[in-house]
């Protein structure tokens, strides 16, 4: 009986315990919980059901909600708590086997004043006096905590920057969460941010001492969903296709200080397109960071690679010199500069690879009209390391960008295509910079200045070895330039504002003079291999073009601290068969102080210079060769130049109309200057002060050359006489006795000299200008009278035959004066005696007889022909080509000399 009674009592107690636990306690506990919560919050809480299992000590709270009017602030469908009372009693700490929170929702709302609803949820309490400061944290342990399918919504109700974000399907699992030292709690988190982004985290943490680790994965984060948070500050838009992927692991320890490690961080930012007013300012397809490791406070950053694919930047500087990117953010908060901790460890940065591929840049500066366009830029850096102030880079590579630089105001254009650059082993150690090698290759560069010049370079292969920068000194061991091609073209219709150029020159000169550059240079030898230089001038009646190829040579070392001049030595081919060599010394500190340059050009085809001969001389050049030996010596700003110009077999062609042409008898000039071998040898020295702003070598040489030509053609006999060292007057004329064609000995010397000159100058011809005078006619009349007297004397048999013959001839003419009257004129009183001057009487009669003689034109021509024949016959004995002797028309002139003078002129011989 007692046993049955005991069983009944136990059953009754169990039933009572069950009744109280399952029903009575929840019934009374639910309103108390609601009351307690409502007393401590400003909103109203609702609980639909509270369940308690008194045997397993499991608690379920269903449909819990805190509402603000009709808005739900905090809600969960079920909260399940599995309290382990026996382990709590046994282990002397609070222990939960499991806590599950299902379908929780939190709505966080920020009003237009910036007040968040949850911050006002708890009621304000007066601070308690005499707080117990000796209370200690009760140890606890939660074996498993599950948050299932939670949702967190954040909404900002702002008229200016409305914003909302949601964490959906949030699942968070904790294992072994407790207050014990060295106990590690594991955690797993997964959620969806808005509609597209997933966030996953798996790791663990411990509370004492606090430490935490996890692997985090963030996928398809949409930046556009977060820009509206501060939309009023932002003056740009992003395309919706932009996304961010992020994966990394981390470890955080707070033992004595913060210890942070980030491992295997991989970041991918995709499809960024930043626009302002529907215009793209910056964009890229992918920014990838691979395997980033970070350690703090060791301050180590190690990155396997960073790559940026297809970036594009459009930068515009306004006339007020403000860049367009400053307008992307309307207001910028000013931050106080952070003070760097003293004695902190230096950061060590190690980046294995940095790569930019297919980059584009559009740069426009409205303040100075500069524009830059960069396309297809690929840039790579290998092994980039930084430690404190030291830096190391093993390789820098620049691959095949196309660069266009222009200035509309200056009408300047620079176009670079397929540039390739490799720099190896760059180091910076404190104030020293080292670079082992630079290898620059460039397929093409185009530089044009409208109406002035176009410069093209191709196939540039530049190698620079051992670059060191130390103590403000840049040192280069040696440089090699291989197979470059440079082309300069002067376009047609060049117009130049001389005043503007002069003003610019003055301004630039002033700027240069006022600038001070303290950088010291120590540059080793520069070697040039197989270079080519092309020059074309289209601003001529006939375009000019020439090519210098296979140019090889070197420049010696250049040291700005040394007074040792730089040596240069270059040689190459000009066009097909020409040759050039340039040697000399230049004092790099001041070229006006010492410059000694020798330039040799050999076997240059002059026909190529038809463009310039047409412009400045008005004639084409059909053929010829040019050799130049130019020596320029500058000492103390004084130029002493010697220009040896050798021209061979030059022949001019047809005329060319040119406003700049100087009218010169070119064929005559060539004939006067060209020797028997067809060579013109000119020496044109020039001198002057290079500090004189009006001093220019080119115009001086041209002026000296034209003066030489003018002097030659205006006084040819002076030039020709100088060949023999005689006076010009000795060969200008050929003298004959009156009425005689006999060659005088003195004139033989003149003809001999002329024959020698024509041998030295085979292209000249002598123009003989025949002449007769009144004295020639008188002499011919006198000769005729003499012959008549001699014939008359033959008829007289006795007496003074000469007197009788003269008197008979005289009396035979009409209108004569009586002989008696004439004789009276020749009777004089001498010692009171009459004396007859017979000789004078007879001479007078003979003179009158001569005056009666008629000299015909045929007789004058015969005299002239005989004289010409005499000259030609003598030249023939000297083997002078008769085609080079030109007879001019006969003329009559008077002379004060005792001879008749044949003038000579120099002209050009007809070419056979």
Dump the DSSP string for 43-64.
Answer: SEEEEEEEEEETTTTEEEEEEE
Q: Which residue has the tokens 């097909």?
A: 576
User: 586 Cβ partners below 8 Å, 6+ apart?
Assistant: 565, 566, 568, 594, 595, 596, 597
Nearest to 391 by CA among 341, 440, 425: 425
Distances 278 to 237, 239, 242, 282, 322 between C-alpha atoms, Å: 8, 11, 16, 12, 20
Would you state the pLDDT for residue 291? 94
3-state secondary structure 405-446: EEECCCCEEEEEEEEEEEEEEEEEECCEEEEEEEEEEEEEEE
Distances 246 to 307, 357, 463 between C-alpha atoms, Å: 15, 22, 42
CA distance 170 to 154: 14
Strand-pair category, 312-317 with 348-365: parallel
For the chain, residues with pLDDT lower than 70 are: 1-2, 125-137, 180-182, 228-233, 331-345, 410-412, 442-454, 490-518, 535-545, 588-594, 611-612, 636-637, 686-705, 894-897, 912
Identify whether the C-beta of residue 354 lies closer than 8 Å to the C-beta of residue 386. no
Q: Which residue has the tokens 């106990």?
A: 183
* Residue 657, helix vs strand vs coil: coil
The backbone torsions φ and ψ at residue 703, rounded to the nearest 5 degrees and listed phi first, read: -65, -40
Q: Which residues pair with 377 in a beta bridge?
A: 359
Q: Which residues pair with 154 in a beta bridge?
A: 108, 165
| DSSP code string of 282-342 | EEEEEEEEEEEEEEETTTEEEEEEEEEES-EEEEEE-TTS-BGGGGSBS-----PPPPPPT
Structure tokens at 658: 């040119």
The dihedral over CA atoms of 733, 735, 740, 741, expressed in degrees to the nearest 10, equals: -50
- The CA angle 282-285-290, to the nearest 5 degrees, is 115
Identify whether the C-beta of residue 174 lies closer than 8 Å to the C-beta of residue 204. no
Show the DSSP H helices in 109-235 as ranges. Answer: 224-227
Convert 114-131 to b/e letters by CB count within 10 Å (16 or more is b): eeebeeeeeeeeeeeeee
Nearest to 560 by CA among 516, 590, 597: 590
| DSSP code string of 432-487 | EEEEEEEEEEEEEEEEEETTTEEEEEEEEEEEEEEEEEETTEEEEEEEEEES-EEE
pTM, entire model: 0.66
Identify whether the C-beta of residue 675 lies closer than 8 Å to the C-beta of residue 650. no
Show the DSSP H helices in 674-800 as ranges. Answer: 697-714, 716-724, 745-760, 774-793
Nearest to 580 by CA among 605, 553, 599: 599
Q: Which residues pair with 626 in a beta bridge?
A: 604, 647
CA distance 420 to 404: 16
Structure tokens at 569: 């030595």
* Residue 879, helix vs strand vs coil: coil
CA distance 503 to 899: 65
Structure tokens at 533: 């230089």
Identify whether the C-beta of residue 390 lies closer than 8 Å to the C-beta of residue 431. no
Structure tokens at 44: 């109203």
Distances 598 to 586, 606, 643, 850 between C-alpha atoms, Å: 11, 21, 10, 74
Structural domains in the chain, sorted by start:
535-714 (no CATH), 728-775+881-908 (3.30.1330.60), 776-858 (no CATH)
Structure tokens at 454: 């176009």
CA distance 717 to 705: 19
Distances 710 to 108, 377, 483, 715 between C-alpha atoms, Å: 101, 59, 44, 8
Residue 240 CA neighbour count, 13 Å, CB half: 2
User: 163 Cβ partners below 8 Å, 6+ apart?
Assistant: 154, 155, 156, 228, 229, 231
- The CB density around residue 669, as the number of other CB atoms within 10 Å, is 20
**Exposed/middle/buried for residue 736 (C-beta within 10 Å: 0-12, 13-18, 19+):** buried
Identify whether the C-beta of residue 736 lies closer than 8 Å to the C-beta of residue 744. yes
Would you state the pLDDT for residue 512? 43
């Amino acid at each position: 009986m007692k046993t049955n009674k005991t069983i009944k009592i136990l059953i009754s107690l169990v039933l009572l315990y069950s009744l109280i636990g399952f029903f009575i306690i929840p019934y009374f506990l639910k309103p108390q919980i609601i009351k307690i919560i409502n007393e401590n919050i400003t909103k109203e809480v609702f609980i639909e059901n509270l369940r308690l299992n008194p045997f397993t000590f499991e608690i379920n709270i269903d449909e819990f909600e805190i509402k603000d009017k009709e808005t739900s602030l905090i809600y969960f469908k079920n909260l399940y708590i599995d309290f382990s009372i026996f382990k709590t009693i046994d282990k002397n700490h609070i222990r939960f086997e499991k806590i599950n929170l299902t379908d929780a929702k939190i709505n966080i709302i920020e009003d237009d004043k910036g007040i968040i609803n949850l911050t006002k949820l708890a009621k304000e309490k007066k601070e308690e006096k005499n707080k117990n400061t000796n209370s200690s944290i009760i140890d606890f342990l939660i074996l498993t905590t599950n948050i299932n399918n939670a949702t967190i919504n954040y909404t900002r109700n702002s008229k200016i920057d409305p914003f909302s974000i949601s964490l959906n399907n949030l699942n968070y699992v904790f294992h072994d969460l407790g207050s014990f030292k060295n106990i590690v709690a594991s955690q797993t988190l997964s959620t969806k941010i808005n509609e597209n982004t997933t966030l996953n985290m798996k790791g663990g943490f411990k509370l004492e001492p606090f430490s935490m680790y996890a692997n985090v994965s963030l996928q398809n984060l949409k930046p556009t969903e977060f820009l509206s948070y501060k939309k009023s500050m932002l003056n740009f838009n992003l395309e919706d296709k932009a996304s961010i992927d992020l994966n990394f692991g981390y470890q955080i320890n707070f033992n004595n200080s913060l210890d942070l490690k980030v491992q295997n961080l991989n970041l991918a930012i995709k499809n960024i397109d930043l626009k302002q007013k529907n215009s793209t300012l910056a964009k890229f397809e992918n920014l990838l960071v691979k395997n980033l490791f970070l350690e703090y406070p060791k301050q180590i950053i190690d990155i396997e690679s960073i790559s940026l694919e297809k970036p594009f930047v459009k930068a515009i500087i306004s006339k007020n010199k403000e860049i367009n990117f400053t307008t992307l953010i309307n207001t910028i908060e000013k931050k106080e500069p952070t003070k760097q901790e003293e004695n902190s460890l230096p950061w060590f940065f190690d980046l294995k690879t940095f790569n930019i591929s297919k980059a584009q840049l559009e740069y426009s500066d409205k303040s100075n009209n500069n524009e830059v366009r960069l396309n297809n830029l690929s840039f790579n850096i290998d092994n980039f390391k930084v430690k404190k102030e030291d830096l190391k880079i093993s390789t820098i590579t620049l691959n095949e960008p196309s660069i266009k630089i222009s200035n509309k105001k200056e009408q300047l254009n620079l176009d670079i295509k397929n540039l390739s650059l490799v720099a190896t082993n760059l180091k910076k150690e404190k104030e020293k910079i080292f670079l082992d090698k630079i290898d620059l290759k460039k397929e093409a560069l185009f530089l044009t200045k409208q109406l002035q010049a176009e410069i093209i370079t191709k196939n540039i292969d530049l190698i620079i070895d051992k670059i060191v920068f130390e103590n403000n000194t840049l040192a280069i061991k040696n440089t090699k330039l291989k197979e470059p091609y440079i082309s300069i073209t002067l376009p047609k219709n060049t117009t130049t504002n001389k005043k503007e150029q002069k003003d610019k020159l003055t301004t630039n000169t002033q700027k240069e003079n006022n600038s001070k550059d303290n950088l010291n240079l120590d540059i080793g030898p520069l070697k040039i291999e197989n270079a080519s230089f092309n020059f074309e001038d289209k601003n001529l009646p006939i375009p000019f073009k020439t090519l210098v190829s296979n140019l090889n040579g070197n420049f010696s070392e250049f040291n700005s601290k040394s007074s040792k001049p730089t040596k240069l030595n270059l040689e190459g081919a000009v066009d097909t068969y020409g040759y050039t060599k340039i040697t000399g010394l230049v004092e790099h500190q001041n070229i006006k102080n010492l410059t000694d340059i020798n330039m040799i050009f050999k076997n240059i085809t002059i026909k190529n210079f038809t463009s310039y001969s047409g412009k400045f001389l008005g004639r084409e050049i059909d053929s010829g060769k040019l050799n130049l030996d130019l020596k320029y010596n500058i000492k103390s700003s004084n130029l002493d130049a010697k220009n040896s110009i050798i021209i061979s077999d030059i022949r001019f062609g047809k005329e060319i109309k040119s406003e700049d042409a100087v009218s010169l008898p070119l064929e005559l000039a060539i004939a006067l200057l060209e020797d028997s071998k067809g060579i013109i040898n000119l020496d044109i020295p020039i001198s002057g002060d290079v500090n004189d702003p009006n001093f220019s070598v080119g115009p001086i040489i041209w002026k000296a050359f034209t003066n030489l030509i003018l002097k030659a053609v205006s006084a040819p006999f002076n030039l020709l006489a100088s060949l023999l060292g005689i006076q010009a007057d000795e060969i200008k004329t050929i003298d004959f006795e009156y009425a005689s064609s006999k060659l005088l000995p003195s004139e033989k010397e003149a003809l001999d000299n002329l024959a020698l000159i024509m041998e030295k100058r085979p292209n000249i011809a002598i123009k003989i200008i025949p002449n007769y005078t009144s004295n020639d006619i008188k002499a011919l009349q006198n000769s005729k009278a003499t012959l008549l007297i001699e014939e008359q004397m033959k008829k007289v048999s006795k007496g003074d035959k000469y007197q009788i013959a003269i008197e008979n001839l005289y009396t035979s003419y009409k209108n004569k004066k009586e002989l008696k009257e004439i004789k009276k004129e020749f009777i004089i009183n001498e010692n009171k005696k009459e004396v007859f001057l017979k000789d004078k009487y007879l001479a007078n009669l003979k003179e009158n007889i001569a005056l009666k003689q008629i000299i015909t034109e045929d007789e004058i021509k015969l005299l002239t022909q005989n004289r010409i024949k005499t000259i030609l016959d003598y030249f023939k004995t000297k083997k002078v080509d008769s085609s080079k002797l030109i007879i001019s028309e006969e003329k009559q002139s008077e002379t004060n000399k005792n001879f008749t003078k044949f003038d000579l002129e120099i002209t050009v011989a007809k070419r056979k």
